[in-house]
Amino acid sequence: MKTTLFVMLPVVSHYNACFGLAATLREQGDRVVFTGTPDLRDHVECEDFGFVPMRYLEEYVIPNVRVALGLFLKSRVDNHFLPRRYQEFWSNVLAFRQLHQAVAPDTVYLDQHLNHYYFLLEPEDRNVVLLNTKLPTRRVEGIPPLTCAIPFR
Protein backbone atom coordinates (compact mmCIF):
# COMPACT_ATOMS: atom_id res chain seq x y z
CA MET A 1 0.00 0.00 0.00
CA LYS A 2 1.34 3.41 -0.95
CA THR A 3 1.38 6.23 1.58
CA THR A 4 0.59 9.79 0.61
CA LEU A 5 1.45 12.70 2.90
CA PHE A 6 -0.25 16.09 2.61
CA VAL A 7 1.72 18.98 4.12
CA MET A 8 -0.75 21.84 4.23
CA LEU A 9 -0.85 25.43 5.39
CA PRO A 10 -2.79 25.07 8.67
CA VAL A 11 -5.93 26.82 7.46
CA VAL A 12 -9.20 24.91 7.04
CA SER A 13 -9.84 26.10 3.48
CA HIS A 14 -6.49 24.69 2.31
CA TYR A 15 -7.44 21.26 3.67
CA ASN A 16 -10.92 21.42 2.18
CA ALA A 17 -9.48 22.09 -1.26
CA CYS A 18 -7.45 18.83 -1.03
CA PHE A 19 -10.07 16.48 0.38
CA GLY A 20 -11.36 15.55 -3.07
CA LEU A 21 -7.89 14.56 -4.32
CA ALA A 22 -7.16 12.77 -1.05
CA ALA A 23 -10.43 10.80 -1.30
CA THR A 24 -9.55 9.75 -4.86
CA LEU A 25 -6.12 8.56 -3.73
CA ARG A 26 -7.70 6.64 -0.84
CA GLU A 27 -10.17 4.98 -3.24
CA GLN A 28 -7.14 3.87 -5.31
CA GLY A 29 -5.76 2.14 -2.22
CA ASP A 30 -3.38 4.75 -0.82
CA ARG A 31 -3.00 5.43 2.88
CA VAL A 32 -3.57 9.20 3.13
CA VAL A 33 -2.07 11.21 5.99
CA PHE A 34 -2.40 14.95 6.59
CA THR A 35 -0.14 17.08 8.75
CA GLY A 36 -1.26 20.13 10.69
CA THR A 37 -1.66 21.85 13.99
CA PRO A 38 -3.47 19.85 16.70
CA ASP A 39 -6.63 21.97 16.42
CA LEU A 40 -7.13 20.65 12.86
CA ARG A 41 -7.09 16.97 13.86
CA ASP A 42 -10.90 16.65 14.17
CA HIS A 43 -11.45 18.41 10.84
CA VAL A 44 -9.17 15.94 9.04
CA GLU A 45 -10.27 12.82 10.92
CA CYS A 46 -13.96 13.60 10.19
CA GLU A 47 -13.05 12.90 6.57
CA ASP A 48 -11.47 9.55 7.62
CA PHE A 49 -7.88 10.53 6.81
CA GLY A 50 -4.86 9.95 8.98
CA PHE A 51 -3.43 12.89 10.88
CA VAL A 52 0.01 13.69 12.27
CA PRO A 53 0.62 16.90 14.24
CA MET A 54 3.39 19.07 12.84
CA ARG A 55 5.53 21.90 14.19
CA TYR A 56 5.71 24.59 11.55
CA LEU A 57 8.71 26.80 10.95
CA GLU A 58 8.38 30.24 12.51
CA GLU A 59 7.89 33.03 10.04
CA TYR A 60 9.21 36.43 10.91
CA VAL A 61 7.24 38.97 8.92
CA ILE A 62 9.07 42.25 8.43
CA PRO A 63 6.40 44.59 7.09
CA ASN A 64 8.41 47.81 7.28
CA VAL A 65 11.78 49.38 7.96
CA ARG A 66 10.96 50.05 11.63
CA VAL A 67 10.42 46.37 12.34
CA ALA A 68 13.57 45.44 10.40
CA LEU A 69 15.57 47.98 12.36
CA GLY A 70 14.08 46.72 15.64
CA LEU A 71 15.07 43.12 14.88
CA PHE A 72 18.54 44.24 13.84
CA LEU A 73 19.01 46.22 17.05
CA LYS A 74 17.67 43.35 19.16
CA SER A 75 20.18 40.99 17.53
CA ARG A 76 22.99 43.45 18.33
CA VAL A 77 21.96 44.07 21.96
CA ASP A 78 20.81 40.55 22.96
CA ASN A 79 23.61 38.04 22.36
CA HIS A 80 21.17 35.15 22.80
CA PHE A 81 18.57 36.36 20.26
CA LEU A 82 20.11 34.99 17.04
CA PRO A 83 21.30 31.67 18.57
CA ARG A 84 17.79 31.14 20.02
CA ARG A 85 16.18 31.81 16.64
CA TYR A 86 18.64 29.48 14.93
CA GLN A 87 18.07 26.73 17.51
CA GLU A 88 14.30 27.12 17.10
CA PHE A 89 14.63 26.95 13.32
CA TRP A 90 16.89 23.88 13.38
CA SER A 91 14.73 21.99 15.90
CA ASN A 92 11.69 22.53 13.63
CA VAL A 93 13.68 21.32 10.60
CA LEU A 94 14.66 18.15 12.48
CA ALA A 95 11.07 17.65 13.69
CA PHE A 96 9.81 17.84 10.08
CA ARG A 97 12.44 15.36 8.90
CA GLN A 98 11.52 12.96 11.72
CA LEU A 99 7.82 13.28 10.86
CA HIS A 100 8.61 12.52 7.21
CA GLN A 101 10.72 9.53 8.20
CA ALA A 102 8.03 8.20 10.58
CA VAL A 103 5.23 8.42 7.98
CA ALA A 104 7.54 7.14 5.20
CA PRO A 105 5.41 8.52 2.34
CA ASP A 106 5.80 7.44 -1.25
CA THR A 107 4.52 10.84 -2.36
CA VAL A 108 4.33 14.20 -0.58
CA TYR A 109 1.70 16.72 -1.65
CA LEU A 110 3.05 20.07 -0.52
CA ASP A 111 0.94 23.20 -0.27
CA GLN A 112 2.49 25.81 -2.55
CA HIS A 113 2.44 28.26 0.35
CA LEU A 114 4.89 25.91 2.12
CA ASN A 115 7.12 25.17 -0.87
CA HIS A 116 10.24 25.92 1.21
CA TYR A 117 9.67 22.57 2.97
CA TYR A 118 10.82 20.89 -0.25
CA PHE A 119 14.38 21.83 0.67
CA LEU A 120 14.04 20.26 4.12
CA LEU A 121 13.68 16.80 2.61
CA GLU A 122 16.67 14.65 1.82
CA PRO A 123 17.38 14.54 -1.96
CA GLU A 124 16.40 10.85 -2.19
CA ASP A 125 13.05 11.59 -0.47
CA ARG A 126 11.91 14.32 -2.82
CA ASN A 127 8.97 12.69 -4.56
CA VAL A 128 7.00 15.90 -4.09
CA VAL A 129 4.00 17.42 -5.85
CA LEU A 130 3.30 21.11 -5.27
CA LEU A 131 -0.39 21.92 -4.82
CA ASN A 132 -1.89 25.31 -5.46
CA THR A 133 -4.75 24.86 -3.02
CA LYS A 134 -6.14 28.32 -3.52
CA LEU A 135 -5.24 31.75 -4.74
CA PRO A 136 -4.15 34.34 -2.18
CA THR A 137 -6.97 35.92 -0.20
CA ARG A 138 -5.30 39.33 -0.29
CA ARG A 139 -6.77 41.76 -2.78
CA VAL A 140 -5.00 41.53 -6.10
CA GLU A 141 -6.15 43.37 -9.19
CA GLY A 142 -8.33 41.09 -11.29
CA ILE A 143 -8.57 38.31 -8.67
CA PRO A 144 -11.41 38.41 -6.14
CA PRO A 145 -10.69 37.30 -2.55
CA LEU A 146 -11.44 33.62 -2.06
CA THR A 147 -13.24 32.85 1.18
CA CYS A 148 -14.92 29.55 0.33
CA ALA A 149 -14.86 27.04 3.18
CA ILE A 150 -16.87 24.29 1.44
CA PRO A 151 -14.99 21.02 0.80
CA PHE A 152 -14.47 20.41 -2.91
CA ARG A 153 -15.36 16.99 -4.27
pLDDT at 41: 95
Is 0.85 topped by the overall pTM? no
Burial class (CB in 10 A: 0-12, 13-18, 19+), 143: exposed
pLDDT at 44: 96
One-character DSSP codes across 75-139: HHH-TTHHHHHHHHHHHHHHHHHHHHHHH--SEEEEEGGGGGGGGGS-GGG--EEEE--S--SS-
- For residue range 105-153, list pLDDT tens digits in order: 999 999 988 888 898 888 777 789 988 876 655 555 555 445 544 444 4
All structural domains of the chain with their residue ranges: 3-131
* Residue 92 neighbours by CB distance under 10 Å: 16
CATH class of 3-131: alpha beta
CB 106 within 8 A of CB 25: no
pLDDT at 132: 83
- For residue range 12-61, list pLDDT tens digits in order: 888 998 999 999 999 999 999 999 999 999 999 999 999 999 988 877 77
- Residue 18 CB-half CA count within 13 A: 31
Question: Angle formed by the axes of helices 81-103 and 65-77, to 10°?
Answer: 100
